[in-house]
């Protein structure tokens, strides 16, 4: 990682309660103060792995559509897409 929030390798989802449900946003963990995570649900890219060797649908879409660019930025893309997927798992477009 870059320790500056530029590369995306450290991207995680932060879930906060809002109106009785968790609402997620993607953030760069390397520049986030630990104390700001109190009471949140933190989701890392490692969490997305399915049973056995199965990929999460977001990860599989990255593979199927050749969405990877480099080893550092790919986790950031995956986690940002996962945050979007959490808001709308069945997008119309």
* pTM strictly above 0.85: no
**Distance between CA atoms of residues 41 and 27, nearest Å:** 12
Q: What is the DSSP string of 10-79?
A: TEEEEEEEETTEEEEEEEEGGGS-GGGGTT-EEE-GGGG--STTPPPHHHHHHHHTT----TTTHHHHHH
Q: What is the mean pLDDT of residues 27-55?
A: 90
Domain membership flag for residue 92: no
Count of domains forming the chain: 1
Asked if pLDDT for residue 1 goes beyond 70, the answer is no
Domain membership flag for residue 25: yes
Domain membership flag for residue 93: no
Domain membership flag for residue 3: no
Asked if pLDDT for residue 66 goes beyond 80, the answer is yes
Give me the domain span that covers residue 40.
Answer: 11-87
Asked if pLDDT for residue 28 goes beyond 90, the answer is yes
The answer to whether the CB of 14 falls within 8 A of the CB of 24 is yes
Structure tokens at 67: 């969405």
């Amino acid at each position: 990682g870059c320790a500056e929030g530029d590369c995306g390798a450290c991207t995680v989802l932060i879930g906060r309660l809002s109106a009785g449900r968790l609402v997620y946003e993607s953030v760069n963990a390397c520049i986030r103060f630990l104390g700001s995570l109190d009471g949140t649900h933190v989701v890392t890219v490692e969490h997305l792995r399915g049973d056995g060797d199965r990929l999460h649908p977001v990860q599989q879409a990255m593979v199927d559509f050749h969405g990877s660019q480099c080893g550092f930025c790919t986790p950031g893309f995956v986690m940002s897409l996962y945050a979007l997927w959490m808001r709308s798992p069945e997008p119309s477009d």
